[in-house]
Amino acid sequence: MNSANVTELNPFVLWDHFYLPNVEGTAGFDFHGHSGVATISYPQTGDIGHEDTGGHSGMLKAGGVQVMSSGAGVLHKETVYPDKHIADAFQLWVALPEDIQEMGPVTYSTLQQQDIPVVEADGSKTKIVIGQFQHKKSTAQAPVDMTYLHVNLEAESEWQHLSQKSQTTAFIYVRHGSVDTGGVHLSAGELGIFEKGNEDLVVNASTQEAEFLLVLGVPLNQKIISNGASVHSNRTNLIAGVQKIQQLHTHGISQIS
């Protein structure tokens, strides 16, 4: 995502499906910096170990979710431990509200797979990664007003979400199979952006089972600018975030080594 379209899905600024089929040993990302953005990690195959210059460390098991709000700036390291040489994960970046969180402290919210609520209905199973669905609610601490659902839909079945009227930004990503929604057909690996509006979302599976992720959120009433690793509401905060990351590169890693 570049500066020309970084606001298209406000408050979401990046979506990544990280898939490696032939991993020998471990994979991942050594210490790198973020500021002004929350990174939401959701591994499907393989686990993710993390540590940062804020003193946090731990292991996110496959099927769990972790929200890291970077605030004014942090360095963190992610080590991917594949399962049978396969690593498969999603990561979503969310801009932080400018009033408190954007330049605040680094925070974490982690739920392992067994703690994520599930709604099962005729023809579907919905994991509530963040937010709520049909009177069940995830306890993951969202950085903004948002919903993040992971749905398995049986062949020739229909799934519906009575979306909150304020969550006007919405997109769908198909992991397996194919679906029809909003008059559009989407296949595995394709992402569709819903038009802004207040209509409920309806998704239909075709002649085979489908698996998709649906993300909705309330747009932030602020500018969104980015240099890649940092996302901020104004140039002053962006410069401050970049400087904090540079300082941590010089002094911070030794604090946790």
Query: What CATH number is given to the structural domain containing 70?
Result: 2.60.120.10
Banded model confidence at residue 206, pLDDT cuts 50, 70, 90: confident
Position 129 in a domain: yes
Query: What's residue 252's pLDDT?
Result: 60
Q: Is residue 60 part of a domain?
A: yes
pLDDT on residue 3: 43
Q: Are 67 and 148 in contact (CB under 8 A)?
A: no
In a domain, residue 228? The reply is no
Tokens 């954007």 -> residue: 102
Rounded Cα distance, 97 and 233, in Å = 8
Asked if pLDDT for residue 241 goes beyond 80, the answer is: yes
The pLDDT assigned to 5 comes to 55
Q: How many domains are contained in the chain?
A: 1
Say if residue 180's pLDDT is above 70: yes
Any idea which residue has 């609520």 for tokens?
A: 117
| Residue 167 in domain | yes
- On whether residue 41 sits in a domain, the answer given is yes
> Among residues 216, 248, 221, 256, which one has the least CA distance to residue 35?
248
Q: Please indicate, yes or no, if residue 230 is contained in any of the structural domains.
A: no
Structure confidence by residue, pLDDT tens digits, 61-91: 999 999 999 999 999 999 999 999 999 999 9
User: Which range among 97-106, 160-169, 246-255 has the greatest average pLDDT?
Assistant: 97-106
Answer whether residue 193 is part of any domain: yes
Q: What is the pLDDT of residues 10-30, one digit of tens each?
A: 999 999 998 988 888 888 788
According to DSSP, residue 36 is labeled: S
Closest CA to 176 of 152, 194, 207, 204: 152
Q: What strand order describes the sheet that includes 158-161?
A: 158-161, 201-205, 178-181, 184-187
Mean pLDDT of all residues belonging to the chain: 91
Q: What is the pLDDT of residues 126-168, one digit of tens each?
A: 999 999 999 899 999 999 999 999 999 999 999 999 878 899 9
Task: Name the residue range of residue 35's domain.
Answer: 12-217
Any domain includes 2:
no
Token match 């990046």: residue? 14
